[in-house]
Amino acid sequence: MARCLIGCGSNQGARREQLDRAIELLGTMPGIRLEAVSRHRETRPIGGPPDQAPFLNGACLIDTDLAPHDLLGLLAAVENTLHRDRSERWGPRTVDLDLLLYDDTVIDDGDGAPLTVPHPRMTTRRFVLEPAVEIAPDLRHPLSGLTLRDLLDNISRPHLHVAVVGVAGAGAPAVAEAVADATLARHLHAEMTIPWEIADVAAWEAALAAAAGPQVDLEWPPDPHGTVSDHWLGELIVAAEEALAPEALRRFAALHEAATAAVMPAHVAVFLRLSPGALAGRPDGARLARHQDRLLARLRCRARAAAVAPPSVVVVAADDPSRAVDEAIAAVEATA
């Protein structure tokens, strides 16, 4: 049987009774064995329409022999039984059951897919991680390789560093500025220019210095608002691996490793992902599509010592700039 983590929430009607009823119904379903249930916590709503009532949030741990999509359908059936209204994204709801983890399974069919596992926004959501850690602190997130306790500790740092990351045209500078303004965070801007057509390591070193410069000697005192930057140094090494010859790459990798060690690593990355359609219409679209795929893979790979990846990564669709800003703000606000 697969071990699965389910997030539970309600902010309409008799919240506690509805959550208890949802978990009770879930536990009686064929193919489901209820293993643990967290206590409920009251939390403020994140994103969605204004003036929503506070949520009660919790989590439960189950074992199941249902396949992931079948389990998702069962969760929806329980929500429907308790009159869940899906007419408004992030709107008020009688009950919300999210499939957070399904063993170590990874399903990512892209933006708008009916099921993404692990849940794409769970690693920055305090209202998800706190109840999850209560019942399953050592459960591992299959993309980051970290335990749920590690992920909660990561967003609980005294000064959180959030990096907004994306290929050219994804809008990282504008999104980072909007997020910093909305969350009262310090905004950190740097030029992230990739010298794609230049094989001279000196040009790449100059690009690295320009990107790392704003962080060198910067102080990071305890601050509940943290810092939001519009770049991640790892983007340069990912590009260099595609653009530079082996000997030049070795020289640049050593410079990049030293620069990375000299600055504050990002704890959270908000990755702005452009759709294939948005990239296809650009002259450099094929190269940007490859770079975007490689960049996201590196962000999710913590084994690379030369470009330490942030423990928490949230992927945001970037084709619609206004919606990307709203989702990025919600991802960062959820850490508080």
Q: Which of 20, 63, 98, 111 is catalytic?
A: 98
Tell me whether residue 84 is one of the annotated catalytic residues. yes
Pairing of strands 96-102, 2-10: antiparallel
Tell me whether residue 302 is one of the annotated catalytic residues. no
149-180 residues labelled b (16+ CB within 10 A) or e (exposed):
ebbbebbeeebbbbbbbbbbebbbbebbbbbb
Q: Which of 93, 125, 298, 300 is catalytic?
A: 93
Copy the structure tokens of residue 268. Answer: 């959270």
- Is residue 267 classed exposed, middle or buried when 0-12, 13-18 and 19+ CB atoms within 10 A define those classes? buried
The torsion angle over the Cα atoms of residues 66, 77, 47 and 192, rounded to 10 degrees, is 30
Q: Which of 15, 96, 121, 273 is catalytic?
A: 96
Q: Which of 84, 121, 126, 300 is catalytic?
A: 84
Q: Which of 187, 144, 155, 178 is nearest to 315 (CA)?
A: 144
Active site residues: 84, 93, 96, 98
